[in-house]
Amino acid sequence: MHHNMDGITSNTKYLGDASKTNWVVSGDAVIYNDNVLLTMAVDTAGTVMATSTYMWYGNVKAKFKTSRGQGVVTAFILFSDVKDEIDYEFVGSKLDVAQSNYYFQGITNYDEEQDIQLSDTWANYHEYEIQWTPDQITWLVDGQVGRTKKRIDTWNATSNQWMFPQTPARVQLSIWPGGLATNGEGTIEWAGGVIDWNSEDIKNNKYYYASFESVDIECYNATSSLGTNTGVSYTYSSLVGTNNTVVDGDKPTILKSLLGTGTNMSAAYPSAASSGAAAASATAAQIPGLTGTGGGGVDTHSSGDDSSSGSSSGTSSASGSSSTGGSSGFSQGTGSSGSGSGSKSAADKVGANQERVLKGSVFAGIVAVVGMMAL
């Protein structure tokens, strides 16, 4: 399935009908020369864009040029509702390196990041690929294998489980401020230093940007067991949140309003007639993904204790948005933010007291219990 870089809908307007859009965005995405520029203006949290559909194993390729500059991070990841994650990350001060990593349910692992060497990622388009099966992840750059990780090598005897990404995930593309001055010291150091908001790119364009040309997704298309996509949606049968608890079924995915959840999909704004007041407009607290749900990709480079499990995914009768209690997180985007930190308009201007950097889920829990598949 070729995902053209068009069909983009704001996360403040998306209600779960994946047939209406290819992408859901938080922040500012600019169309330029048939590419999509994900932008990060001064003191914003950048931009994150995610597919409206999920893939449960398969191959995904993205062709793009990264951003540049110390503290500026570009990312191409797979991210599931229980925080399983497969990453490419690019630090703007190291333009000859693609960082590969993976996480199981958001649990930090400081030893699994590996570098893949390549030519200037800002000046050159490269094709980055993730091949994902129930047994192995392969990272490829321009068709050449850069890294392989086998599930059999991820067994954790203490927790008695495979620490391997295994649940339906969205493709997410983003630019985010690893070098924000209010971030943790470890995050800033990893990102190459504090961001220069007076750089050449800021002076010339008013923002940092990464340029995405194309994304191609090939689903695993299993006919039975793991990796099927024969239904309408994916749900979870257990809080365990492993691949054997994924249900490929026919639960609906479309909410009546942004007040809806997976357990109350018909929730609607009060009408002026029934309430005696003007109908409510969407606020930050009513926009899934802009509230304190955490979001896509927990940064593991902070000097604080960022370890958390995303296994609170939810069952077939509970919310599928996993929460990390993200009181120290920030939301990406340019709309109002309902960050758990209580900071003012964090998506417009990132405030202080936000130690943990989140790469940002565009619509964490927008459908709550269900997610449309990539068919």
Which tokens belong to 34? Answer: 């048939």
Q: Exposure pattern of 17-48 as b/e (b: 16+ CB <10 Å)?
A: ebeebbbbbbbbbeeeeebbbbbbbeebbbbb
Catalytic site residue from 85, 129, 189, 213: 85
CA distance 363 to 293: 10
Q: Is 112 a catalytic residue?
A: no
Strand order through the sheet with 246-249: 246-249, 233-236, 371-372
Catalytic site residue from 89, 127, 185, 355: 89
- Strand residues in 241-363 grouped as ranges (E): 246-249
> Are β-strands 35-41 and 207-219 bridged in parallel, bridged antiparallel, or unpaired?
antiparallel
C-alpha separations of 56 from 30, 74, 105 in Å: 29, 24, 15
Residues 6+ apart with CB under 8 A from 223: none
H helical segments located in the chain: 185-190, 200-205, 272-275
Mapped onto helix, strand or coil, the DSSP state of residue 258 is coil
CA distance 305 to 118: 32
Query: Do 240 and 161 form a contact (C-beta atoms < 8 A)?
Result: no
Query: Do 367 and 298 form a contact (C-beta atoms < 8 A)?
Result: no
Q: Is 218 a catalytic residue?
A: no
Phi and psi dihedrals of 146, rounded to 5? -105, -25
Query: Do 155 and 162 form a contact (C-beta atoms < 8 A)?
Result: yes
Q: Exposure pattern of 118-134 as b/e (b: 16+ CB <10 Å)?
A: beebbeeebebbbbbbb
Which tokens belong to 40? Answer: 């990060």
> Are β-strands 161-162 and 371-372 bridged in parallel, bridged antiparallel, or unpaired?
unpaired
- Which residues are catalytically annotated? 85, 89
